Amino acid sequence: MAEIHELSAVELRDALRSGELSSRQSTGHFLERIAAENKHLGAFITVTAEQALLDAAAADESHARAARDGTGLALLHGMPVAFKDLTDVAGVVTTHGSAALDYKPALADGALVAALKGAGVVSLGKTQVPEFGLTAYSENLIAPPSRNPFALSRSSGGSSGGSAAAVAAGLVPFAPGSDGGGSVRIPAAACGLVGLKPGRGLVPAGESSGDPAGLVASGPLARSAADAALLLDALVPGAGTGESAAPAPGYHELAAQDPPGVRIGVSLESPWQTVFPFTPDAEALHALAEGIRRLEAAGHETAEASIRYDNRYPAAFTTAWTAGVGGARIAPQREALLTPLTRTFRRRAQQRGPAKLAESLAFLRQFQRDTIAQYAAWDLMLMPSLAQTPRPVGWFTGAAHGDGYWPASEWAGDADGDYRKQCEYAPWSSMVNVCGLPAISIPVHWTGGATGAGLPMGVQLVGPMGSEALLLQVAAQLGF
């Protein structure tokens, strides 16, 4: 058998269910890899090794009981995962990537964690995030930055950057992420993974007052479409059972089926370009060309799509995106511990007031209707996942490079410059969240060309509501 971490998530799931591997063997192997690799990667903020081994032992006991009694096993029986440190795991501190909070262990599991624990997973710990999940890079003031496994000088993206780095480096077989402006798709593209943002409402989000526009959706980060589909089955209530609104069969079975031929609109237009004009890197255009080549070879039709976005979008999105941090409970004496970007956008959010937020939300609802109407001329929309190659660690913040993390005094105070760089880096992400549509990032290109060396680059496919299975099918059809 291959090394445990070299198995796909589907192969590992099958080995755990058959008894070929025990949960303790699998969990111990991944914990050893984390201990060896995380000091270089910065993927984990907290490793819960002791609890993970206890949970693995309990999983093995349930396996023995199921074999004895003839009962079934949970969908993801014994599968190791990690949760980004914006999500509560009972008994573990949730840092939100911030030095400004008073840390206390969470009293209960968040909705996503509860769903996956119910599906049988074993949590290995909490992964690195930017402060409050606000940025397209996973660097903060409390722990070393999350680095790209393919080039440690580069960022793994954000905000699910620690989770993406962990999956790409074989520290976990797959991981859930959350995506409010690209936070699954950006790190997936940076780390050479398949990253799926489901459509609004498909995966239960739990209660939240910090997302008034309904931007955030939880979805899988995985090394293949099949692995992503398996994790999605555990996230969607009733998937594969015919219950709820989810399809039966489940996403994993559907992803293995050939998709129908589809018409795909290709666009480089972005709602950010009037405020932040940008030119895609050559490597982004190479990825797009490779995506088109693969799609056409698979029998799909592609053509340029003429899409127009309202130039009021940047201000309205920024208002909605930062509303949560404006209302976060932070003691006044601790606000100096926030990163420059968080502190700046928190102050502006507090100054805007509820009327401005309501106005922005109304605009975004109209933007959603207008954009979906334009996309409806096509079965899917195609664009690069990122406009630039994965950025160097510290590039957005101006912080000096190093092996550790940096105090606030070493971060540049240019919040607007930081934000502009992010919007130019990932200009095709956030509008998908505003529209509530599903989208997938697929790693079709490497900067090293045929040598396989270099950095990954991806393309993004955006589909209409309910097209998650189609997106996974197309990704699998392209060889991912």
Q: Are 203 and 217 in contact (CB under 8 A)?
A: yes
Residue of 22, 26, 84, 155 marked catalytic: 84
Q: Has 84 been annotated as catalytic?
A: yes
Question: What is this structure's pTM?
Answer: 0.96
The mean per-residue pLDDT over the stretch 459-478 comes to: 98
Position 74 confidence tier, pLDDT thresholds 50, 70, 90: very high
Query: pLDDT tens digit string along 151-200?
Result: 999 999 999 999 999 999 999 999 999 999 999 999 999 999 999 999 99
The mean per-residue pLDDT over the stretch 315-337 comes to: 94
Number of domains forming the structure of the chain: 1
Q: What pLDDT is stored for residue 399 in this prediction? A: 73
Q: Has 159 been annotated as catalytic?
A: yes
The mean per-residue pLDDT over the stretch 247-260 comes to: 89
Q: For the domain that residue 241 is a member of, what is the CATH number?
A: 3.90.1300.10
Looking at 349-353, 425-429, 467-471, which range is the least confident one? 349-353
Q: Has 306 been annotated as catalytic?
A: no
**Residue 210, both tokens:** 């910090």
The mean per-residue pLDDT over the stretch 454-477 comes to: 98
Q: What pLDDT is stored for residue 413 in this prediction? A: 73
Percent of the chain past pLDDT 70, that is, above it, reads 94
Query: pLDDT tens digit string along 412-453?
Result: 678 999 999 999 999 999 999 999 999 999 999 999 875 557
Q: What pLDDT is stored for residue 234 in this prediction? A: 97
Mean per-residue pLDDT over the chain, rounded: 94
Residue 222 above 70 pLDDT? yes
Q: What pLDDT is stored for residue 267 in this prediction? A: 98
Residue 109 above 60 pLDDT? yes
Residue 403 above 60 pLDDT? no
Q: What pLDDT is stored for residue 191 in this prediction? A: 98
Residue 238 above 90 pLDDT? no
Residue 291 above 50 pLDDT? yes
Q: Which residue has the higher pLDDT, 245 or 194?
A: 194
Phi, psi of 217 (to 5 degrees): -135, 145
The mean per-residue pLDDT over the stretch 449-477 comes to: 91
Q: Are 421 and 278 in contact (CB under 8 A)?
A: no
Q: What's at 309, amino acid-wise?
A: Y
Residue 119 above 80 pLDDT? yes
CB neighbour list of residue 432: distance below 8 Å, 6 or more residues apart = 182, 197, 439, 460, 462
Q: What pLDDT is stored for residue 210 in this prediction? A: 83
Q: What pLDDT is stored for residue 408 in this prediction? A: 59
Position 71 confidence tier, pLDDT thresholds 50, 70, 90: confident
Domain that holds residue 279: 4-477
The mean per-residue pLDDT over the stretch 395-402 comes to: 74
Residue 242 above 50 pLDDT? no
Residue 479 above 60 pLDDT? yes
Residue of 183, 218, 360, 430 marked catalytic: 183
Residue of 159, 160, 218, 441 marked catalytic: 159
